[in-house]
Structure 1
Amino acid sequence: MKFAFLADPLDHFKTYKDTTYAMMVEAARRGHAIYAFQQKDMALEGGTVTANVSRITLTGDPDDWYRADAPEAVQLTAFDAVVVRKDPPFNMEYIYLTYLLELAERQGARVVNRPQAIRSHNEKLAIAQFSQFTSPTLVTSDAARLRAFHAQHKDVILKPLDGMGGTGIFRVREDGMNLGAIIETLTANGVHSIMAQRFIPDIVKGDKRVLLIGGQVVPFCLARIPQGTEVRGNLAAGGLGVAQPISERDREIGETLAPVLFERGLLLVGLDVIGNYLTEVNVTSPTCFQEIKQQTGFDVAGMFVDALEKQ
């Protein structure tokens, strides 16, 4: 089979932990042809979606890990699957990307995750569809509502709706220190909607990444544990990743969401769970494959490529 990965620049990959790299390695091990391109390589010409795509050969050297052939302009229908692995920010350029990929789908391309499903599942707001698993949550740009939410719950998290890796996340305790300034900054004085959630003390045990692949729940998660005085568990914010079997509550959440999201065209989803609560539904480029395999031996990339081949 021929798999094309729509990703950020390959030279930026940290191969010791990069999930897209793990996918490529597993696919290549099975004899599949690997290709790569970026959003900037795409074009809509004469009504057809094409991209300047390079075939990738893996070297096995983690420091100089690939060789790329000269790019060729091809239709995305030429591949058995186009795997979307572009990181946020989920801005208008990302929206335009989903439009192009959706056009390619109509022309016969197989895109994973499906572009319309990515577009319809904001990674913060999607939790509202499964409110039985969430802590008290407010989404608004109105400062008065945000202040009232804080007054009710005393200890809250405030965050933008389009961030990743823990960027722009603030905790405001009962004393309300800097609440006004944080609201003004995150909402741009009432222009942008943000999310407020009641603080979940179980964050000290980790912000768990629960992976769903092909409508099934991966049996291990990665608990990303905040370090020092940091409130964020994100690995990009310095969190310590500890793999562990999923809990009964994790499984309940995962098994409820997995078939629903898979039916909507989301082959790979990364749920964020703190304590007993669902906090995010990640659909753009979920990670943590390598950390789970390194610590438990469970081959997450193998499970993913199995699902990809079935697609």
Structure 2
Amino acid sequence: MYSGLLLVLLPLALGYCIPCHARPILRLLDLAVARMVYLILFLMGISLAFVDNLSQHLGTIFSVSLVLVACISLANMSALWWLDSRRQRLATQAGQPLLSKWRLLLDSVWLCSVILAGVLLGQWLDKDTFAVDTFSEAALILLLLLIGIQLRNSGLTLRQILLNPWGLKIAGLVLVSSWLGGLAGAWLLNMPLAHGLALASGYGWYSLSGILISDQLGPVLGSAAFINDLLRELLAIMLIPTLMRRFPCTAIGYGAATALDFTLPVLQRSGGVAVVPVAIVSGFILSLAAPLFMLGFLTFA
């Protein structure tokens, strides 16, 4: 367990120590991270194919993911709605035309198709000779190194983060309410509470949660973690335009870690530039917290 925690922290910390200000390199970095996500999901599909009697585990995968997403969503929405009811007005303005929801949905279908392709290829591979776990760990280390560089060069200083009260409040509420939802889901599913807390700590980062949970708890729960966080991102995309005008904290917070990247354009188009700094701070904090708490809960289980 401790080696798994080091596996996450070391490349992330090393990447965060690397400054980079050249825009062409940063664009290349963004492209590399996007491609690494596909590779990791493909390897996760192969790992899933190596599970004995896979068809018997499909019910477990979907039941765990659906119960968790329901419990976590209810807890997040309740906490963030409370924050919206107490906030000073967080200014929003009309943004650009929204991205096509069908295009975003197609992107998510494509991600699931990558996993399915891995499952299909895995049927033809020999699990005794194909070291999928080794390949997955190497891909994860590289991904975390690149993400560390991205976080360092996101343009946010520690001062900016600490002086953005709404971003801090949103991130803190998402952290705590997700854990409450994870505990409720674990109780309903009759699983160890620490496992529920770990599964709830992905905060929408489906590629990371899928591979980390797979490494520690096996590909069945890893797949459930992936689906849970992917559904969270899909729901955020659908709900942000509706929530933004009256409930901006809820719109920003429900996207969790994805507010730093994938759902940020949707937030900007729905709420204007005023919500961008808050979303980036909240997403930045949750992106840093996700790997720490996921493996932390498993380490001390």
TM normalised by structure 2 equals 0.27
TM-score of the aligned structures, taking structure 1 as reference length: 0.27
Higher strand share: 1
Question: Which structure's relative contact order is higher, taking Cα pairs within 8 Å and 6+ residues apart?
Answer: 2
Larger Rg: 1
